[in-house]
Structure 1
């Protein structure tokens, strides 16, 4: 007489469940963090908007990192000499595309100097600009650290840049970025994390229920 075959155990898997729940909790935490970042970014945009409304001049922050209180404020520098040029694509204040002429200005015998956007040209030929007193708006410089650099702790503090109110001879005045252009996608990121958490939990429950079905 043969022994009856014992049916396999149909219990809820403990270890996989713990792993999935831990992953879901991490995704929910990331979503909550993105909501917090959304509030922080909104406060930062409000600060930038107040800065743009101010007409008084502030001392130009030559050394990075640049405090948020300086961005989008009016300032002036004395460019003794343009020691280099960094042409980049850009637009003028009427929305016409062109080449933005960014000068690396020497402001003294030593020091990092300052970046000055002296206007928009039609080609990559630098203007014949001898420097001098430049008044304009402080904005984030063209070289900003990437998300990966920030995440890995290898981000180099970004320099600021001054967009000249009056362009160099032969150029058009460059458009000044608005505080409203500051990216704030954190609500969408939060929604994505919450959606991932819900999807992972639903898929896992369905998979386990199918496995436990007689």
Structure 2
């Protein structure tokens, strides 16, 4: 039997170790995500909190009840979304000035069939804090502002938790790399 080639064995060994490490990391992230999703599920039953003027990205109060006083709507954006009845259409998100300082608030004023900006100019709004890809958080108005329908309520069940699939994928990659390497070495030793 021939000796194993040093450098290829070292490189493949390191690659397999990295893949196994990534699989273990995904299993650890799965436990973290399970705890986070449980915390989000419990948030609906907790008391309302003050709107976070400057949200902490590491500890967002998602799915908690809150309220905002929108002193002035400084802009609108519309995004595709669903009504509380599951109908496709547009959600209307107001950028609100909430005081002299701070970034303000993003308020999902409601849902409609058309992307046209609503006539709402501001006021007190209560609802649920939801994730926002551009501003970290936004308030989903409940009830919606006048003239709009309710949007589909945010739910932690909409957050994917596919870390187990990623872990299995990394472990399979490591196993496949090991099998391919063993086959290559066996083939090399026969020739």
TMscore range, shorter length: over 0.9
Q: Could you say if the C-alpha distance between residues 206 and 138 of structure 1 is closer, same or farther in structure 2, counting changes exceeding 3 Å?
A: same
Unmatched segments (≥5 aa) in structure 2: none
Within a 5 Å distance, the mapping from 1:134-145 to structure 2 comes to: 134-143=125-134
Greater displacement, 34-43 / 66-75: 66-75
TM-score normalised over the length of structure 2? 0.95
The corresponding residue for 2:30 is 38
Superposed CA offset, 1:143-199 (max 9, x none): 2xxxxxxxxxxxxxx521000001122211111221122211100000000000000
**Structure 1 unaligned runs (5+)?**
1-8, 144-157
3-state DSSP class of the match of 1:87? strand
CA 208–44 in structure 1, closer or farther in 2 if over 3 Å, else same? same
Matched, 1:205 2:191: no
Q: How does the TM-score come out when normalised to structure 1?
A: 0.85
69-78 vs 190-199, greater mean Cα deviation: 69-78
- The answer for the alignment partner of 1:87 in structure 2 is 78
Q: What corresponds to 2:112 in structure 1?
A: 121
2:151 is aligned with 1:160: no
Counterpart secondary structure, 1:62: coil
Partner of residue 19, structure 1: 11
Aligned pairs, number: 191
Higher share of residues assigned strand: 2
Cα distance, 1:64 vs structure 2: 2.8
CA 1:203–1:209: 2 relative to 1, 3 Å: same
* TM-fit CA distance, 1:66: 4.4
Please state how far the C-alpha of 1:142 moved relative to its aligned partner.
3.4
Runs of 4+ in 1 over 3 A off after TM superposition: 66-69
Q: CA deviation at 1:57?
A: 1.4
Alignment of 1:58-207 (within 5 A): 58-66=49-57, 68=59, 70-143=61-134, 158-207=135-184
- Superposition RMSD on alpha carbons, in Å? 1.5
